[in-house]
Structure 1
Amino acid sequence: MSQSISVLLADDHVVVRSGLTRLLEQNSDMIVIGKAENGEQAYRLYSESMPDVLVMDVSMPGMGGLEALRRIIGRWPDAKIVMYSMHENTSYAIQSMAAGAMGYVAKSGPTNDLINAVRQASIGESFLSTDMAQKVALHSESSDDDPTRRLTTREFEVFRLLAKGKTVEDIASHLDIGHKTVANYQTSIKQKLAINSPVELVRLAIRYGVIPKA
């Protein structure tokens, strides 16, 4: 029998981590070797266990999945990471893939999608579910309509946190960067998105599905 695919899970909900463990380990070619509940832990456990594949939620308290993805790929460019998210919105999928993720799977999709994504990632192949691939393709055709595409991964994460009402101090602490750096990102985001106020920023984030409507 071929060697099992070692998987590290990162999700802030213990029920989700348990469910994913059961789902993946039903397959004889997969074994879950660690579980993280936030981005900081995912980064640390990745460095300790060097799994074949990391399955990580996009939105977690503290360092989110996108920031953890950016840092892990920055240190280990060959890391194979599948983002697993409640966000079916294409902005998150596009940002994840642009930052180096091998796959993006919606939590609402078929369970087989995640299994296929892990297998594909383990051999260096990317994976998007059929539904998400179609959305991304359609989104790409009309990419000029979505200004969030102009943001870098780091800018997108700052934009998302600002839209959720986080202060500059909160964001600096979340991302472990200086206040001045966050302020510089804020200025860049406003310029790229042509917005002048926090209200405009929130409206734009809701319009393009970056945050849900209240």
Structure 2
Amino acid sequence: MTRLLLVDDHPVVRAGYQRLLELGGGWRVVAQAGSVDEALDLHREHQPELTITDLGLPGRGGLELLRHLLERDAGARVLVFSMHEGEAMVRRAFAMGARGYVTKSSEPQELLDAVARVMAGRRHLCGGLPAHWLQPSPVGGDDEGLQRLSDREFEVFRLLAQGLTPAGCAAALHLSSKTVSNLQAQIRDKLGLASTAAMAHLALRRGLIDGVFSR
């Protein structure tokens, strides 16, 4: 029986996912986590065959979890199940090694299909999103600059755009303030942005954070 780890910061939501996955798919949820650190500890303890994670986790987000899991085990299977539907976020998740991406606006059967597909060794993108998002971003526009960001720079960019201070980013990502300041300068240079407000506007337009401009 396939063993799953669920990662979402809402216990009631996790309980609903567990019921769906166990009754609808016949899989076993061996552990649940509400944060990146908890998920890393439980993954080490239980060695699940698949981790299903939200991206909007407190502190370090789900992309950080994805990065750490694949650094630890290049063969780790991770399925993203998120409210974020923006192209840049989807492409980044796949570029970092996610095996599947399902939005929370999808029908329940979509999640079951995604788990089955990923466990069969294939990638899965939910039906409501364009299939070409599985591929690297095309050259040009905002996405070209975002694609040039390293995984660490991308996460710092998102946290700054969400309104965290450099000190807050450092605490969330377990980095020094100097490291975050250097990353912030690199991000501004790569994206050609002069302020944190400009970062926030770009992140909103590309669906990387919540707001009226997300797509």
User: Which residue does the alignment assign to 1:166?
Assistant: 164
Matches within 5 A, 1:125-204: 125-134=122-131, 136=133, 140-141=137-138, 143-145=139-141, 146=143, 147-204=145-202
Q: Tell me, what secondary structure is at the counterpart of 1:84? A: strand
In the alignment of these two chains, the number of paired residues is 210
Offset at residue 189 of structure 1 (A) = 0.6
User: CA separation of 1:194/1:57 partners in 2, compared to 1, >3 Å: closer, same or farther?
Assistant: same
Offset at residue 118 of structure 1 (A) = 1.3
Alignment of 1:57 onto 2:64: no
Q: Tell me, what secondary structure is at the counterpart of 2:60? A: coil
Of the candidates 31, 35, 40, which is equivalent to residue 38 of structure 1? 35
Of the candidates 101, 104, 125, which is equivalent to residue 107 of structure 1? 104
| Cα distance in structure 2, aligned partners of 1:28 and 1:129 | 17
Q: Tell me, what secondary structure is at the counterpart of 1:131? A: coil
Q: What is the TM-score of this pair, normalised by structure 1?
A: 0.92
Structure 2 contact 51–79 (Cα < 8 Å) conserved: yes
| Cα distance in structure 2, aligned partners of 1:212 and 1:6 | 32
Offset at residue 154 of structure 1 (A) = 1.6
Of the candidates 15, 18, 25, which is equivalent to residue 18 of structure 1? 15
Of the candidates 78, 81, 92, which is equivalent to residue 81 of structure 1? 78
Structure 2 contact 5–48 (Cα < 8 Å) conserved: yes
Q: What is the TM-score of this pair, normalised by structure 2?
A: 0.91
| Cα distance in structure 2, aligned partners of 1:86 and 1:28 | 22
Q: Tell me, what secondary structure is at the counterpart of 1:130? A: coil
CA offsets, 1:106-142, max 9 Å, x none? Answer: 000121221122122223221111222436269945x
| Cα distance in structure 2, aligned partners of 1:125 and 1:139 | 17
Structure 2 contact 7–52 (Cα < 8 Å) conserved: yes
User: CA separation of 1:86/1:26 partners in 2, compared to 1, >3 Å: closer, same or farther?
Assistant: same
CA offsets, 1:138-168, max 9 Å, x none? Answer: 9945x52223222222211111100011011
| Cα distance in structure 2, aligned partners of 1:14 and 1:35 | 9
CA offsets, 1:48-90, max 9 Å, x none? Answer: 1010100000011022110011011001110000011000112
User: Which residue does the alignment assign to 2:91?
Assistant: 94
One-letter amino acid matched to 1:176: H
Structure 1 contact 43–72 (Cα < 8 Å) conserved: yes
Alignment of 1:118 onto 2:111: no
| Cα distance in structure 2, aligned partners of 1:120 and 1:102 | 9
